[in-house]
Amino acid sequence: MSAAIQSVVLGATGYVGGEFLRLIAAHPTFELGGAVSESRAGDAVAAVFPHLATAVGETAFVGHDEWAGRIDRGSRVALFSAAPHGASAAILRSALERASARDLDIHVVDASADFRYAKQADYEAVYGEHGAPELIEHFSSGLPEHVDGTPTAHVGHPGCFASAMLLAAVPLIASGLTGGELFATGITGSTGSGRSPQPGTHHPERHSNLYAYKPLSHRHAPEVRLLTGQATGTLPRLHFVPHSGPFARGIHMTVQTPAEGVPVQALKTAFHDAYADCAFVELVNGTPRLKDVVASNACRIGVAASDEAVVVTVVIDNLVKGAAGGAVQWMNRLCGLPETAGLLAPAPAWT
């Protein structure tokens, strides 16, 4: 492996931020150069994430104006943003200015939505005013499995629901075996709503419960449509209904499409060929299960077909493959490292 690359996490106190810190601690090349949090600057990381105590020791959070000064001039830096949607762009603008002032050789992977759209107008139609539109051209978006090489210096990683849908939709549309209309149902764990308590993530509300929210109007749908079109050349019609599940981690996604007489073996071949060289994606016999992937960067996919329809089921961990793990996978590539570096720990299964 190469010499250590200093890794900085912006928005490091949230669930995704905590996963970045956990993955960096086990990475063979990335070394934590700064866990950034304005609200908790000076506090011990282990006070916020006790489960990381043996990995982070006495490390404390630092403010946005501190991290760059702690890194030697000219160093290689992997900068991850777990800052909130709408805030990340402006924070990253300032971070890149600080990096430039210290001649840092830097790559950014943003886990927020701020750089998932190639056009400012597309972003603003969903999220409102963009915080740093001048940076959009320096970012590209998509899953590593669907994008060749490194088109730009920085990446906006797709969202968690979007990652699960894209893993089903892209091979399905690219195969030509079906039409371009997709019906998706996704169930996510409570960590997908972030660390701040909300009625929808409060345990008594989620426990032994299951309910849909924002049917046909969830913000990930236009992202998935555009990224599927980018990967396949076909812009699908997508009808997405998300659900809140009674568990903490994971996403179970079901994508269906009308299709007459598609042989199931042809469908399996299409998915096998699409992901043959992808270390984290596995096509399984039957249907995949969440406990086989939770807390890992793995994705498992199952396919089925009848005389009238095709169905694809996908399971991923929302915080890992759907956020921090997928972002580390991208950063590995941007830094010229093996894409699997630091990401091969298996799922614990009995969570």
The partner residues of 336 in beta bridges, in order of sequence, read none
Q: Which candidate, 185, 176, 163, places its Cα nearest to that of 269?
A: 176
Distance of CA 66 to the CA centre of its chain: 27
Contact in structure between 274 and 231 (CB atoms under 8 Å):
no
d(CA 328, CA 191): 19
d(CA 184, CA 168): 10
d(CA 89, CA 134): 10
DSSP secondary structure letter of residue 133: G
Does 160 qualify as catalytic in the annotation? yes
Determine which one of 160, 278, 299, 335 is catalytic.
160
Residue-wise burial string across 181-200, b where 16 or more C-beta atoms lie within 10 A, e elsewhere = ebbbbbbbbbbbbeeeeeee
Contact in structure between 198 and 144 (CB atoms under 8 Å):
no
d(CA 43, CA 61): 6
Residues designated as active site: 160
